[in-house]
Chain A
């Protein structure tokens, strides 16, 4: 009873302040938005957890319900202010992911992972491309396109639809304290898959420029290469410095961690790097080259991760354009169903080819459904480059993100629960699948 009462009080207080005549102050509503999101989204997260859903879904639903497109308690300026924390959150989330990838531990499973990942990605992309090519007249993007133009547009759309969400995957693993083959495989697949898709996307953009009469210069390819390799180099250097700090100073770690994330996020923006990749590289360096002694980093992450995740997903929910679903709902739903079926069948086939236990492939696909920032980023590039048909593609993509961002976390959490991996991050010893008669030596 106390929690609903507190939730009602927070909502009422914020609503009074936002809608009252005093809400004309010159100050930006950042602190108000963060405070309201922290309390109310955290409560919404604990509420949905009672129904067996991931907390992340509660944070997202809170954002949707209170956001500017539905309840408008989080007004448009407040939602914009909440986005400020996004850069920090993405870096922190990716850094946590990097810390979870230990090459020495993964080495025996690497071969199977590469085979499984490459086949899954190939089948998924090929399947989506064929579907989009065949269904093109009904997608409402640019039905009149033919030949090379249609090839480029369909290829780009397939890359957008195939992309995953590393942030949601990592956040769910961190929130569930999950560890084991399913979380490890999903995480690796999502990160490497997105890397490959981004490279493919850059090539397809070149094709698109050529097909639509543009210059076809190599600018985008160069910038993507810089983003990927430059980000890894910068992140590795930043991770090395942070590892030195951990080893030789080791004080005020929560503050140092937040400051580190802020520096990586700011440098990413300034130097056109990809903060997600940079932070991932930093985490890899810290974990694999200079691991900290004791639990001090783990404690600092635990203290700082939850508030950042709560605000990040509440902001994501608040910015979800639910109205896009109303515009293109049926088409988006159809594409979503096809994507789901393709992910399921691609992982099944790839699992068999890589010699993975069927149960593992049967769970990993659930972690590949979420879509968020990467998808939106690719969409915005297309819309900016090809405004004539890119805006329709953006509407479809936003509607797909709305569906997958709400459905994906539920599915992935369910997979982690069924694999018995929830809460295993805190236990010692090598992760293993529970209740599944399989030989994990190949994983």
Chain B
């Protein structure tokens, strides 16, 4: 067999794994976080601290882009499925409550010196923990799986709003929480209107791509510079583009699809390279993984009361894969509070890898049941 053929065999095996509905270990988080760690300052040092500082712009852009995705998904699905939206929000709130409550208690008990309120760190961990990325369901496939996917799509909305407040609390240079959140909403709306005026009248796809990229950078950059959350600003813009007259959301979606993959890869590599092992990070990692799992299971159980056609014990299991939103929010937190943020990124990034690996065991078991 040729070398090419040899290489194709494991890839085909992986594809079959995915086709069978198993969560393959090729999930981006499990590939690119370790890659980032090995390339970063604590690994081979190819990504130096200076390069990491330059990658701040990528993080900001990725935050705004993810925000737009969530806004678009929320605006399309939430009004059509209010019960699922309520279920997803309930699950998110419970996970945040469990993780943030436990973290506050533990941080108080450990007596770790922090340069910002312990509640801000705890809430950040909670917001990061609440994000889920259930494996995408196939068309006409398992209805339970499909509901879990929709809940995972919608359970990011409330945490992002709460995250907007947390960024305000964590950033000493920013206005207080509610003002910071209001600023993010203002930036989101202003940029969204600007984009809405431009996208449909662009002279060709190249110019529209410039406008879309410009809006994303403005969303992220203006929100970050104003000391507020680029994720929230992006979500507001995405929501606006769906409800505004015209086809802005569809046009943006086409261009975002091209950006999504490279941005997510860069975001995860940046997160991996930003991992800085310290004692607080290790403690937070243990707490994060333990209480995130508990929060998801309790939250999933509670949410299943509002979401029909899904077994209470299964929904939480489906929501264990964390995806990239939590990692993105941890990086956002690290931008405004670098000292504590380093420990949070450590906990959330490694926690995400572990949760993804756990999913390999948990989700197939749920599906068999």
Stretch at the interface among B7-15, B99-107, B147-155, B189-197: B189-197
Most buried by A among B201, B207, B220: B207
Specify the main secondary structure of chain B where it touches its partner: helix
**In whole angstroms, how far apart are the Cα atoms of A46 and B204 in the complex?**
12
Name the residue on A nearest B338 (C-beta). Answer: A26
Contacts of A20 in B (CB 8 A): 226
Q: From residue B287, how far is it (CB to closest CB) to chain A in Å?
A: 27
Name the residue on A nearest B335 (C-beta). Answer: A27
Determine whether B6 belongs to the interface, using a CB cutoff of 8 Å to chain A: no
Determine whether B283 belongs to the interface, using a CB cutoff of 8 Å to chain A: no
Contact across chains for B173 and A25 when beta carbons are under 8 A apart? yes
Within 8 A of A (CB), among B267-296: none
Within 8 A of A (CB), among B205-250: 206-207, 209-211, 213-222, 224-228
Given contacts A5-B197, A6-B194, contact A32 B209 (CB under 8 A): no
Name the residue on A nearest B63 (C-beta). Answer: A31
Stretch at the interface among B16-24, B53-61, B74-82, B85-93: B53-61
Most buried by A among B56, B187, B227: B227
Determine whether A382 belongs to the interface, using a CB cutoff of 8 Å to chain B: no
0 or 1 for each of A6-19: is its CB under 8 Å from B? (1 = yes): 10011011100110
Contact across chains for A25 and B197 when beta carbons are under 8 A apart? no
Contacts of A31 in B (CB 8 A): 57, 60-61, 217-218, 220-221, 224-225
Most buried by A among B203, B217, B224, B335: B217
Determine whether B39 belongs to the interface, using a CB cutoff of 8 Å to chain A: no
Name the residue on A nearest B53 (C-beta). Answer: A28
Determine whether B178 belongs to the interface, using a CB cutoff of 8 Å to chain A: no
Contact across chains for B171 and A25 when beta carbons are under 8 A apart? yes
Contacts of B190 in A (CB 8 A): 9, 12-13
Name the residue on A nearest B201 (C-beta). Answer: A2
Contact across chains for B217 and A34 when beta carbons are under 8 A apart? yes
Name the residue on A nearest B225 (C-beta). Answer: A32
Contact across chains for B56 and A28 when beta carbons are under 8 A apart? yes
Name the residue on B nearest A36 (C-beta). Answer: B218
Name the residue on A nearest B226 (C-beta). Answer: A22
Contact across chains for B227 and A14 when beta carbons are under 8 A apart? no
Most buried by A among B57, B215, B335: B57
Name the residue on B nearest A38 (C-beta). Answer: B214
Contact across chains for A39 and B214 when beta carbons are under 8 A apart? yes
Name the residue on B nearest A1 (C-beta). Answer: B197
Given contacts A28-B56, A252-B261, contact A9 B197 (CB under 8 A): yes
Find A38's partner among B203, B210, B225, B227 (CB 8 Å cutoff): B210
Q: From residue B55, how far is it (CB to closest CB) to chain A in Å?
A: 10
Name the residue on A nearest B224 (C-beta). Answer: A27
Q: From residue A77, how far is it (CB to closest CB) to chain B in Å?
A: 10
Given contacts A35-B215, A46-B207, contact A17 B262 (CB under 8 A): no
Q: From residue B42, how far is it (CB to closest CB) to chain A in Å?
A: 21
Contacts of A310 in B (CB 8 A): 210
Stretch at the interface among A117-125, A301-309, A332-340: A301-309
Determine whether B35 belongs to the interface, using a CB cutoff of 8 Å to chain A: no
Find B214's partner among A28, A42, A302, A303 (CB 8 Å cutoff): A42
0 or 1 for each of A389-433: is its CB under 8 Å from B? (1 = yes): 000000000000000000000000000000000000000000000
Determine whether B198 belongs to the interface, using a CB cutoff of 8 Å to chain A: yes
Find B218's partner among A2, A5, A25, A35 (CB 8 Å cutoff): A35
Name the residue on B nearest A37 (C-beta). Answer: B214
Determine whether B364 belongs to the interface, using a CB cutoff of 8 Å to chain A: no
Find A306's partner among B183, B198, B206, B336 (CB 8 Å cutoff): B206
Q: From residue A286, how far is it (CB to closest CB) to chain B in Å?
A: 21
Contact across chains for B198 and A3 when beta carbons are under 8 A apart? yes
Determine whether A360 belongs to the interface, using a CB cutoff of 8 Å to chain B: no
Given contacts A302-B206, A306-B206, contact A35 B214 (CB under 8 A): yes
Contact across chains for A23 and B226 when beta carbons are under 8 A apart? yes
**In whole angstroms, how far apart are the Cα atoms of A26 and B172 in the complex?**
10
Find A18's partner among B191, B207, B225, B335 (CB 8 Å cutoff): B225
Name the residue on B nearest A309 (C-beta). Answer: B210
0 or 1 for each of A304-337: is its CB under 8 Å from B? (1 = yes): 0011001000000000000000000000000000
Which 5 pairs, one residue from A and one from B, show the smallest C-beta to C-beta distance?
A35-B217, A31-B221, A32-B221, A35-B218, A38-B214
Q: A14-B222, A39-B218 are in contact. List 6 more A-B contacts (CB 8 A).
A: A12-B190, A22-B226, A26-B336, A37-B214, A42-B211, A306-B206
Enumerate 18 A-B pairs (CB-CB under 8 Å) in ascending A order.
Answer: A2-B197, A3-B198, A6-B195, A6-B197, A9-B194, A9-B197, A17-B187, A22-B175, A22-B225, A22-B226, A25-B227, A26-B338, A31-B217, A32-B222, A35-B218, A35-B221, A254-B258, A307-B209
